Amino acid sequence: MIIIFLLLGLIIGSFLNAVVYRLNAVESLMERSHCPHCSKKVRWFDNVPLLSFILLSARCRDCGEKISWQYPIVEVVTGIIFALIGNYFFHSFDFASWTLTAYYLVIFSILMVIFVYDFKYMEIPMLVLWLGVGVSLAYFLFADWQNFGNAASILDLQLISGIVGGLVAGGFFYALAAYSKETWMGYGDAYLGLLVGLVVGWPNVIVALMLSFTIGALVSVGLIVVSKKTMKSQVPFAPFLITGTFLVVILPQIFPYLRYLFF
Ligand SMILES: [Zn+2]
């Protein structure tokens, strides 16, 4: 089963690369992929996730231009994320796990697009972000409706816990962006805070924020040490926030004792 999720992730990852590219180039998603250098259409047998990149030795078959490492990296990472979600959340005999798994696959695909887009263009694609908010609200309404009788407190309702988490993270980043006049954070990060807070809910959003800032600090120090960046250079924050969010979702599944720490 884990192999099926891995393969699905590789294929979806390949699609997400195309989404990132076409969001920026404003092209239709229905068109066949083409080489950004020579514009020749990519042959179907050269469009196999990961495998084609290796077989073509990272070069376009037509013009020999190098293919960006972004493509195989996003495919493999999406594959791994899908495999982890499938492995830890999917139980074939439990219907509720089907919808939860589907929700996580969709939302982390959306977050993957935002991750790569912000990394490349230093900008949050708002259309994709609001799609994530809409998908989350719809899923929470459905899950709460299924589970209403079991909720002991109002925060056990995912809709409520999600909205509180979203307002806390979104409000926090909004305040940082306003106070620093967008030098520490942009308003785009505030909207992303809203989305990731919604996904992990209250109080997990606090752990997600702490993890994001820790990872961000470690990576920034690392970049300064290898002197690729200076203290002043802008580092997009979305990748750290999204990494922190995924860790909050998956780590307590991999290491169950962490649940006592997190929740
Ligand atoms: Zn080419």
How far away, in angstroms, is 104 Cα from ligand 1 center? 35
Provide the pLDDT confidence category of residue 263 given band limits of 50, 70 and 90.
low
- Ligand 1 centroid, distance to 17 Cα (angstroms): 17
Cα of 33 to ligand 1 centre, how many Å? 11
How many angstroms does the Cα of residue 66 sit away from the middle of ligand 1?
8
Rounded to whole angstroms, how far apart are CA atoms 33 and 29?
9
User: 102-150, pLDDT tens digit by residue?
Assistant: 999 999 999 999 999 999 998 999 999 999 999 999 999 999 998 877 8
Task: Look at residue 256 in the predicted model and tell me its pLDDT.
Answer: 86
Distance in Å, CA 191 to ligand 1 centroid: 37
Q: What is the pLDDT of residue 228?
A: 65
- In this predicted structure, the answer to whether residue 231 has a pLDDT above a threshold of 70 is no
Q: Model confidence over 172-213: pLDDT tens digits? A: 999 999 998 888 788 899 999 999 999 999 999 999 999 999
d(CA 148, CA 161): 14
Q: How far is ligand 1, taken at its centre, from the CA of residue 74, in Å? A: 20
58 CA distance to ligand 1 centroid (A)? Answer: 11
